Structure 1
Amino acid sequence: MPEHPPTPPVPPGSAGGERSGATDAPPAADPRPPVIDGPPVEGGRSGPADAHPVGDAGPPVFGVRPADDERAELIDALPTGAVGGQPVGADRSTLRLALTVGGLVLAVLLGFGLGRANPGPGTPSATSAAAATADHTHAPGTGAHDHGAGTDQAADSGAGGLSVSSGGYTLTPSAVEFGAGRAGEFRFQVRDERRRPVTRFAVVHDKPMHLVVVRRDLSGYQHLHPTMAPDGTWSVPLTLGQPGVWRAYADFTAVADDGRQTAATLGVDLVAPGGYAPRPLPAPAPTTTVDGFTVGYDGTPEVGRALPLRFTVSAGGAPAALERYLGAYGHLVALREGDLGYLHVHPVATPAGDTVTFWVTAPGPGRYRMYLDFQVAGVVRTAEFTVTVP
Structure 2
Amino acid sequence: MTGPDGKPVTGFAVDQTQRMHFYAIRSDLTGFQHIHPAMAADGTWSAGLASLSPGSWRMFASFTPDSGAGKGRDFVLSRTVTVPGQAAKMTLPAAAGSTQADGYTVTVKGKLMAGIAHPLTVSVFKDGKPVTDLQPYLDTYAHLTAFHEGDAAFAHLHPTTKVDGNHGGPYLSFHAELPTAGNWRLFLQFRTGGMLHTAALTLRVG
Letter of the 2:128 partner, please give it: G
1:367 equivalent in alignment to 2:178:
no
1:332 equivalent in alignment to 2:175:
no
Residues 217 and 240 of structure 1: CA distance in aligned 2, closer, same or farther (over 3 Å): farther
Give me the CA root mean square deviation. Answer: 1.6
Q: Please identify the structure whose Cα radius of gyration is greater.
A: 1
1:233 is aligned to 44
2:157 is aligned to 345
CA shift for structure 1 position 353: 3.9
TM-score where L is the length of structure 2: 0.92
Letter of the 1:252 partner, please give it: F
* 4+ aligned runs moved over 4 Å, structure 1: none
How far apart, in 2, do the equivalents of 1:367 and 1:271 lie?
23
- Partner-residue secondary structure (3-state), 2:24: strand
**What percent identity do the matched residue pairs reach?**
39
How far apart, in 2, do the equivalents of 1:278 and 1:235 lie?
30
CA shift for structure 1 position 259: 8.8
* Count of residues in Structure 1 that have an aligned counterpart in Structure 2: 201
Give the number of the structure with larger relative contact order, counting CA–CA contacts within 8 Å between residues 6 or more apart: 1
Runs of 5+ consecutive residues of structure 2 not aligned to the other structure: none
The structure whose residues are more often helix, as a share, is: 1
TM-score where L is the length of structure 1: 0.50
1:194 equivalent in alignment to 2:10:
no
1:291 is aligned to 102
How far apart, in 2, do the equivalents of 1:196 and 1:331 lie?
32
- Partner-residue secondary structure (3-state), 2:150: coil
CA shift for structure 1 position 314: 1.3
Residues 218 and 318 of structure 1: CA distance in aligned 2, closer, same or farther (over 3 Å): same
How far apart, in 2, do the equivalents of 1:270 and 1:259 lie?
26
How far apart, in 2, do the equivalents of 1:239 and 1:220 lie?
11
Correspondence for 2:16 among 205, 214, 232: 205
* Mapping 1:148-187, distance limit 5 Å: none
The structure whose residues are more often strand, as a share, is: 2
For the Cα contact (< 8 Å) 1:331–1:374, is it kept in 2? yes
Letter of the 1:384 partner, please give it: A
Deviates more, 1:227-236 or 1:266-275: 266-275
Deviates more, 1:218-227 or 1:254-263: 254-263
* Mapping 1:3-82, distance limit 5 Å: none
Runs of 5+ consecutive residues of structure 1 not aligned to the other structure: 1-189
1:384 equivalent in alignment to 2:195:
no
Letter of the 1:345 partner, please give it: L
CA shift for structure 1 position 278: 2.5
How far apart, in 1, do the equivalents of 2:54 and 2:68 lie?
41
For the Cα contact (< 8 Å) 1:330–1:346, is it kept in 2? no
